[in-house]
Amino acid sequence: MSIDGWNTILVLGGIRSGKSEFAESLLADAPTVRYVATSAPGDPEDAEWAARLEAHRSRRPGTWTTEETAEEPRRLADIVESAGPNDTLLVDDLGGWVTVLLDPAHQPADDTATIAELSAAVRDCPARLVLVSPEVGLSLVPTTLLGRAFTDALGAANRAVADACDAVVLVVAGQACWLKPPAVTGATPPTPGSTATPTAGETAAGAAGGGEREAALPDVLTPTAPPEPAGVPWSAPTMALPMVTTGLVIQAGMELPMPDEYTGPQAVERLATLDVPGAGLGVLERVVGFAAATQGTATPAPWSNVRVLLLHGDHAGGAAAGSRVSESARRAAQARAGRGVLARLAAESGASLQVVDAPAAAPMEDTPALDHEAVENALRYGWRLAEEAADAGVQLLVLAACGAGADAAAAAVLAATAGAEPPAVLGRVVTEQGEIDDAAWMRRCAAVRDAMHRTRRSPREAKDVLAELGGGDVAVATGVLLGATARRVPVLLDGPVGLAAGMISRDLAGQSRHWCLLADAGGHPAVRLAADVLGLTPLLDLRLDLGEGANALAALPLLRSVLSLAAALPARPDDNDNDNDNGDNGDNDDGDGGRHRGDGEPDFREPKPDGPGPATTGPTEPAAPDPAGWHAG
């Protein structure tokens, strides 16, 4: 074998997906291969099935030997178990094996035990072993009893064998998607016919730039990795994207995970049972529902490990009118040194802060902000930032930005994706001295207007919008949102760059917006519009103007307090607990309409007159309370 990093591998795929050819190509350089055929011969009169089997046979080199297990399917585990370290086995496929296993001729039998025997043999197998199996989990539930039995048994076999194998790959339309890459450090997933795939630490630009590695990410202040709470793990891997020689493939139509659809409503319903005085948490109930859905438990824990990603990417031209590039660079350096507004707010809330340098954008009114290669690199870079955070145990990401001209770039993205009028979503320009600069605002509007005119015939696909208008900071932020979604890490948005990235990520993977929480719109028109399009309702209305990310960090302690209360408060006592505490044994002869008074409850009934005469109708002087219990009865 020329491929290192795995001993056993499971190749999954649908019908005619190319899974068998892919599996065979993995063993193309093996001197000898024991090919284990599992399917029954089939109907001799079925010419089409016979042709399929013959096609499989014709692809096998002359040095391969064939063994069949159709007569005794339990022999497959024995073959795998008896293989030596110098053997190479190809089992094709588990679907045919399960079919024979369920055949009445081999019943009654303990299918579960047989599958367990096979998975144990695969786990301990010292040989090079490739197993092929159909993936049935993407189809409809069969309508027949036999069909359901087959899908259940094959699904159980696939899960057991996948857990036992070193690597698992799903083949779709001839393309390999690695679900469980080889775990050996430095190993690369085998891709027949292509060069080795870069690891997560390699730069996405390496393929285009001669294989160079990008600079290490900036250091993170006060990183921590707390234990995971009960429920869905904070950073559970959920999927592997298609891989090519340039790294991750981020494209429209990706299927990323959704938050738990049941635990969110369950958590909100549970709030109604808590022992609180008054109406409860109000609009902040949404925080509990969001945390419950993203954590997968009806009693979510407060986010104790939070990381702030401060994106620093400047925009040239009229987009930055009224701003100085040197000022944004000073803010970024200030944050790196642990000083400034964001660093102080992060320290107060116990969050770590990472400054991320994004590619600078060209003047959008004259030329594309980025080329397409730079967009791809920025998306992958943002994805890896989210993956690194998830691997470090981060439970919540906060997106912040400080680039010159970022507001105008976000307005241009909104104009392209939501049809907004640039003047309606461009915020007022405030100088470093705190003064309103309307002339600079008009120059920004003109830059966005000219950019929209320049790109009027350009495609409005997500990556095209990033290249023409969005720039590096929006592209990196988009990658962060997609990567965080894939790793089930929620993101707290605050500001135009984060919301513009939300609009773009929605067009690449619609699931991403469900992992986002908007703490405050900050009074920014672009944020309000994007939030309305994305269905994100701001929790607060602080209207702070301290830079993107400040509102979110200012609100973070409040959000944590809400989650702590929801998790720690006991349930409200049952109203019936004290029904019989007054010793009346249910005889409601005290004239209070059948309502029982609990211990310590004063008697505000009108007293009865002591003698003959009309009852008192005016206000009466209440009797002095009885020290023993307010009402002696």
**Other Cβ atoms within 10 Å of 279 Cβ, number:** 6
Give the pairing type, strands 175-180 and 167-172. antiparallel
Neighbours of 429 (CB within 10 A): 20
- What string of DSSP letters covers 568-596? HPPBPPPGGGGTTTTS-TT---SSSTTPP
Answer whether 402's CB lies under 8 Å from 356's CB: no
List Cβ neighbours of 193 (8 Å cut-off, separation of 6 or more).
25
Helix axes 94-101, 145-164, angle to 10 degrees: 130
- Among 117, 548, 601, 606, the one annotated catalytic: 548
* CB-side neighbour CA atoms (13 Å) of 247: 23
DSSP secondary structure letters along 4-41: -S-SEEEEEE-TTSSHHHHHHHHTTT-S--EEEE-S--
| Angle between helices 325-336 and 340-348 in degrees, nearest 10 | 30
- Tell me how crowded residue 412 is: count the other CB atoms within 10 A of its CB: 33
Residue entry with tokens 């869905």 = 232
Instruction: Kindly give, in sequence order, each residue whose CB lies less than 8 Å from that of residue 33, ignoring residues fewer than 6 positions away.
Output: 27, 60, 61, 63, 64, 65, 88, 89, 90
CB contact at 8 A, 256 and 508: no
d(CA 129, CA 92): 11
- The tokens for 187 are 């190993």
For this structure, is 548 an active site residue? yes
By annotation, the residues acting in catalysis are: 548
